[in-house]
Structure formats: structure tokens, C-alpha cells
């Protein structure tokens, strides 16, 4: 009940900012209204601890760090990802083999990943091994050996990883899209960094990154499953209590560069490829924008489709139906990527070289249509799909812990499921049109394309179709 009351207070604030009135929480199913609350505490040095307790024998605990590739400079781009690799190569008290043996003897799973704004280390273990997991996470983050020999060996591993990533065209296209949309800023840099940096990053560079960004105010310890919140707070105080509260003299360096969206495109033509990969995006919004939830609904309305999927041509999305009926593309997906101060909203599609003109026409027509002719039926269906999608993403303790950590870093709190549903319910057709007009209507776009793109329309052709001519 307390979580619902908190949600109601937050929604009352949102309504004053222009969001429509919300539905009554009592109408929601019991599994939404009575979902476990997320408990939040803070240690004496400022590390935030958040957890959701559930019945079971396993738990996921992890460290979410408010730092990623956008916090890097051109010189040390790739450091966050490099550290992710080095964290598992041994500490001052454990060799790499000892670390691996301890995890295996617990029957646990230890992993990590780096994004543009966050770095995450997490462990999945039995409930009795939670104290050991927290201690190991603290050790690899604060006492990593950073052996020169291991650093040099890991360069080849990361370079091979970079080669594999470059074979995944979707990854390449979205990286190129960021590089042109946010050219000259931190968001435009890749997560792995350029090969030159991978070959030359030194131990001193990695230590400097840790000293600048691995501070208590940027750490969130998140847990889900068979975890006791008070125990997790005590463990955090014990093992992370020595973290510096902020970057001190380096606090200025710990801030990211503001993102500046630039209308532009990047085209890499390879006529020998069998199909073209194209990503078209408009400037989106931040996580905390009042338009973030309407954009999620817009993303669901446009949808996604793959000709190898089971739905065939029987899809609710008008864009998917037109692309399927006219055989304009092999697949497409709508993306809505949010960051702290900006975002990208757009469509990525894979199409034959002789269908690019028509594929782009129908894609733009459906995007601009959201500004004018989106129907109540489409919005209602998208809201239902969005609610279902959000719940299905919380189908494991690892996903719940991920949701807690991400929201604590982006919102400073964790929204309850009831609040999520209420925010989605509050979106009207007019809210969708308003958001679409702000993001799409007569706005500059960014585009990245790879493959046989000789029939892809030029920038001005696409720009002229970001609005409807009324004549």
C-alpha cells in the first residue's frame, strides 16, 4: 500500500506537468497493486542500496555504476569496457583461477557489461551465498590487480571482440548512427573504443578512470530475489564503505559532455552486400522527460516485423502490414533509446537494394502519421502491449535487479508496477500526437546506412518528408 501511495504522489506531480489524469489503482489486478515494494537505503559514504525481496532459493545482486563510454574522452575511449575485462583477471587477494573457482564452487554466475551511460557487474547465486557474492563484487571493483602482462594479453581479446562486433551489421549501424547524430560529443563514441586506443590504453589510464568515476555517489547496489534488505545494507557498508564519496579534485572530469544532436547522415556503400541496412532517427527525449512514456507508446504503435517470424502479414502495426504486403523489407524494428539528457527515436530496417526508395517512403509516412491521424484504437492496443512487455521483462530475478539498478541511476528511485501502469493508462491519443509533433514533425533527422544503398534517397528528400504537405 505504501508503494501505491508513493506512486500516487508522483503521479499528482506528473499531472501538474501536463500528463492526463490517471485511473484508480483499485481497478488494477492484485499482482500489480500488491507487488513487492522496493526498499531503498544509503550507506554513510553515499552508496545507494535498493532491493526487492521475493520467495525462492536464489538471488541476483549487482553493482550499477553511473559511468560508461560517454564519460570518457577521445584519449581514453574504451577504458570502461577494458576495465570490465580486467575485473575478472585477478585482484590483490585472489588470482584469476581462485576467483573462477570460488564462483564455480558456489554454483554461481558472475558477469558484467558496459553501455554508454552505465557499467554493471552482477552475480546470480543461492541465497546463502549473497554475502560472499557482495564481497567478491567489492574485491574485483576496488582491488583489481591490473597486471601489465594481463593488460597486454587482453588487448588481443578485445580487438577480436571488436572484429566480431563489426560483423554484426545491426551493432555497426547503431554505432554509426550515434557517431553522426552526436558527432563531436561523448555519446558519439563507441563502447569498445577505436583500435588505436585498445592498443595503447595503459595501466595509468585505467587507474585514472577508476579514481575519477568509481566513487560512492555513483554506485548503486541492487538485489532481487531471496535477499534481506538490511543484510544487503550491512554488507554494502562493510565492503564498499571505503569508497570515496565523490571524485574530489577530479569531480569536474567525472561529468559527461552535453549531447548535441546534429541532423546528418553517414552512408557506407558496399554494392557487393546482399541487402542494405538503414537506421533513421530523430532526436528523442531523456528518461525523465514528460514525453518518455508517450514515445514508448509510439514505438509500440510502429512496432517491428521480420519476414521469418510467425506472424507473417497478420500484424496490427500499419507500418508492418504495409512493409509485409508490398515486400519492402526483410525486417524492421522501431527503437526508442533514452539517455540522461537526450535520446534517439527511429526505425532500423534491412531491405533489398531496389526497394529502399519505397521502404523509406512508407516508413516516413507512418512516422509522420502519428502527428495527425493516429487512432484511439491504435493507442489502446499499444498501451496494452506496452504493459505486457514491461511485465514480461521482469520474469526473472536478474531482470528485476537490472530494472532496479537502471531506474535508481536514471530516476533516482524505482517506480512501482502500479505507477508504471498508471502512467501508461494516463496517455491519451492527444498525448501521442503532441509527442510525435515535438519529435518528428518538420524536424532534422540522423541516418546511417550500410550496403548497396545506391537507391536510398538523399538527405533533403528525407527531410522534406518529415512533414505532410497540405495541398
290 included as an active-site residue: no
Identified catalytic residue from 154, 176, 322, 378: 154
- In angstroms, the CA 174 to CA 59 distance is 33
Which is it for strands 58-65 and 219-225: parallel, antiparallel or unpaired? antiparallel
**Active-site residue identified among 84, 117, 322, 402:** 84
Q: What is the distance, to the nearest Å, from the Cα of residue 184 to the centroid of all Cα atoms in its chain? A: 21
Using alpha carbons, select from 160, 161, 152, 141 the residue that is nearest to residue 209: 141
How many other CB atoms sit within 10 Å of the CB of residue 146?
A: 21
Which pairing describes strands 445-451 and 264-269: parallel, antiparallel, or unpaired?
Answer: parallel
415 contacts 7 by C-beta, under 8 angstroms: yes
Say how far apart CA 245 and CA 288 lie, in whole Å: 25
Residue 313 main-chain phi, psi, to 5 deg:
-100, 0
- CA-CA distance, 471 to 468, in Å (whole number)? 9
Q: Is 154 a catalytic residue?
A: yes
3-class SS at 419?
Answer: helix
**Contact 294/379 with Cβ under 8 angstroms?**
no
Say which residues have a Cβ less than 8 Å from residue 389's Cβ, sequence separation at least 6. Answer: 300
Locate 176 and state its grid cell: 554509426
List the catalytic residues: 84, 154
Amino acid at each position: 500500500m505504501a508503494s501505491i501511495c508513493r506512486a500516487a504522489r508522483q503521479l499528482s506531480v506528473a499531472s501538474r506537468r501536463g500528463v492526463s489524469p490517471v485511473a484508480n489503482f483499485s481497478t488494477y489486478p492484485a499482482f500489480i497493486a500488491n507487488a513487492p515494494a522496493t526498499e531503498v537505503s544509503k550507506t554513510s559514504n553515499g552508496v545507494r542500496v535498493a532491493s526487492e525481496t521475493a520467495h525462492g532459493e536464489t538471488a541476483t545482486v549487482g553493482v550499477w555504476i553511473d559511468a560508461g563510454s560517454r564519460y570518457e574522452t577521445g584519449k581514453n575511449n574504451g577504458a570502461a569496457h577494458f576495465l570490465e575485462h580486467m575485473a575478472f583477471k585477478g585482484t590483490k587477494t585472489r588470482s584469476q583461477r581462485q576467483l573462477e573457482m570460488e564462483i564455480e564452487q558456489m554454483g554461481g554466475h558472475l558477469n558484467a557489461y558496459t553501455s554508454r551511460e552505465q557499467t554493471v557487474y552482477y552475480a546470480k547465486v543461492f541465497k546463502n551465498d549473497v554475502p560472499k557474492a557482495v564481497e567478491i563484487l567489492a574485491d574485483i571493483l576496488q582491488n583489481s590487480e591490473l597486471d601489465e602482462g594481463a593488460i597486454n594479453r587482453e588487448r588481443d581479446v578485445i580487438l577480436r571482440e571488436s572484429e566480431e562486433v563489426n560483423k554484426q551489421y545491426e551493432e555497426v549501424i547503431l554505432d554509426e548512427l550515434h557517431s553522426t547524430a552526436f558527432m563531436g560529443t561523448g555519446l558519439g563514441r563507441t563502447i569498445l573504443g577505436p583500435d588505436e586506443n585498445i592498443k595503447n590504453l595503459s595501466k595509468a589510464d585505467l587507474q585514472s578512470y577508476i579514481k575519477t568515476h568509481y566513487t560512492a555517489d555513483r554506485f548503486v547496489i541492487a538485489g532481487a530475489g531471496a535477499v534481506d534488505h538490511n543484510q544487503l545494507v550491512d554488507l554494502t557498508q562493510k565492503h564498499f564503505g571505503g569508497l570515496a564519496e565523490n571524485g574530489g579534485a577530479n569531480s569536474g572530469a567525472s561529468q559527461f559532455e552535453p549531447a548535441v544532436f546534429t541532423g546528418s547522415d553517414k552512408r557506407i556503400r558496399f554494392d557487393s552486400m546482399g541487402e542494405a541496412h538503414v537506421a533513421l532517427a530523430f532526436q528523442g527525449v531523456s528518461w525523465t522527460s514528460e514525453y518518455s512514456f508517450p514515445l514508448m507508446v509510439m514505438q509500440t504503435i510502429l512496432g517491428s516485423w521480420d519476414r521469418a517470424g510467425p506472424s507473417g502479414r497478420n500484424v496490427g502495426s500499419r507500418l508492418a502490414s504495409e512493409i509485409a504486403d508490398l515486400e519492402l523489407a526483410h525486417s524492421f524494428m522501431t527503437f526508442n533509446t533514452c539517455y540522461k539528457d537526450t535520446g534517439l527515436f527511429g526505425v532500423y530496417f534491412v531491405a533489398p537494394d531496389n526497394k529502399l526508395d519505397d521502404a523509406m517512403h512508407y516508413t516516413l509516412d507512418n512516422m509522420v502519421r502519428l502527428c495527425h491521424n493516429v487512432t484511439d484504437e491504435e493507442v489502446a492496443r499499444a498501451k496494452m502491449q506496452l504493459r505486457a512487455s514491461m511485465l514480461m521483462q521482469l520474469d526473472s530475478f536478474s531482470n528485476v535487479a537490472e530494472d532496479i539498478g537502471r531506474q535508481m541511476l536514471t530516476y533516482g528511485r524505482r517506480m512501482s508496477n502500479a505507477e508504471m501502469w498508471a502512467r501508461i493508462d494516463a496517455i491519451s491519443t492527444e498525448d501521442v500526437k503532441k509527442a510525435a509533433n515535438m519529435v518528428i514533425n518538420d524536424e532534422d533527422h540522423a541516418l546511417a546506412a550500410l550496403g548497396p544503398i545506391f537507391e536510398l534517397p538523399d538527405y533533403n528528400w528525407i527531410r522534406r518528408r518529415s512533414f505532410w504537405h497540405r495541398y
